[in-house]
Amino acid sequence: MPQRARVRKTAIAKEPPAAAPRSALAVDSLGFSLLLAARVLAAVAGGHSLNEALLAIASEPPAAQAAARDVAYGVLRRYGRAEFILARLMNKPLSHAPTQALLHGALYRLDTRPDAPAMVVDQAVAAAGELAGGVFKGLVNGVLRNYLRQREALLARIADDDEAHFQHPRWWLSRLRRAYPEDWATIVAAGNSRPAMTLRVNARRTTRADYADRLAGAGIAAQALGNNALLLAKALPVGELPGFSDGLVSVQDFGAQRAAELLAPAARARVLDACAAPGGKTAHLLEAADVDLLALDIDERRMQRIGDNLERLGLAATLKVADCQDVAAWWDGRPFDAILADVPCTASGVVRRHPDIKHLRRESDVRRFAQTQAAILDALWPTLKAGGTLLYATCSVFGEENAGQIDAFLVRQPGAERISQEQLLPQKENDGFYYALLRKLA
């Protein structure tokens, strides 16, 4: 049995939003789920990621959390839609962010539950009674009932507004149209959809054929993809997956599984995973070959999760909390045979999985991330041995972070050659990723 992954702790994790006070609403009511979702959405509007915001409701009953997540994800995927509607029903947005977010959630439920409008409005008003001392109950009631009276006319006007119709920021749409004149609409539609749930079979513990049989025996339909992937017909909690706790499978997007296949380090190779969290690619590399792997990440909390997952999968690696750019702080001077540089990026290829990205990103972030990516490449390159390979990876569809980044790197580093590159666009089977495999010339 491989020894447990080793974690060195040297960083402090960011504090999540504070938990909300208890509510008088029934925990199984729509009003309660709308209230929880409003608090989550208000935290995202304040700059927190959706994952951070959801931590604030982690102590609530599981069913209430699931209902609130459904509303929050639904609202965030429909970027610009609620803002467009409310701008035509109110003179100005409310200064009280949770109540404004409650209106967004209620509009989402009115559109997705058109058979029960009166119930949705009543429950939204009840939720408003829990916010700001209830002073906005009348306003919430009036705005939502006014929406129901004008719904058909308002929805018809959405087609005239790019942001509300395509549910992406205007600057984002402009970039996609320029870069992908034939495919931009397909990319946008994929970004607004619910993501697929794909499994990666742990080849050290079972085969895909055997695991597919176990799924079939449990009544779970799945389609084989690539070498070790299974695309589920319907998403389900990981606790319902046969053998998940025993490390037979992991959840990983099919496009993300390309990283280990492209880098393909040889047995006993010394490998660096420079930006390892959340760790799916780390684990896949270890499942594919017996390698000496060092995984770095700057976030202690996320690094601990990698360690837990490796233990579940029966895998071993050295995990170190460190900034990969600060090479002197973590490198022992021994060169690596292979490096995975899964660099920070805008994550524009995974917005269906992380819809808060559409709300949190600004166009200036593209250049900011590009500068960080260039700095990481320049820092890691000296740690790669002559003849070794480095796989540059992003989950972005913006060229400045992808092929443009590698073009510039090859000018700076004449001792590097590009062996291959792939731009995966979001579709049913996978999210959007970019990969460039580089070799260090002797």
The set of catalytic residues is 395
Dist. CA 44–CA 53, nearest whole Å = 6
Two tokens at 328?
């002197």
How distant, in Å, are the alpha carbons of 73, 283, 315, 356 from that of 361?
16, 29, 35, 9
User: Exposure string (b/e) for 399-434, b if CB count within 10 Å is 16 or more?
Assistant: bbbbeebbeebeeeeeebeeeeeebbbbbebbbbbb
Dist. CA 268–CA 169, nearest whole Å = 46
How distant, in Å, are the alpha carbons of 10, 51, 261 from that of 347?
26, 14, 21
Q: Name the residue among 196, 199, 257, 205 with its Cα closest to residue 230.
A: 199
Two tokens at 358?
């559409």
Phi-psi map region of 134: left, alpha, beta (phi>0 left; psi -120 to 50 alpha): left
**SS3 state at 343:** coil
DSSP state of 23: -
On the question of a cis peptide bond just before residue 278, with omega within 30 degrees of 0, the verdict is yes
Burial class (CB in 10 A: 0-12, 13-18, 19+), 89: middle
**SS3 state at 327:** helix
**SS3 state at 89:** coil
> In the chain, what is the straight-line distance between the N-terminal and C-terminal CA atoms, in Å?
37
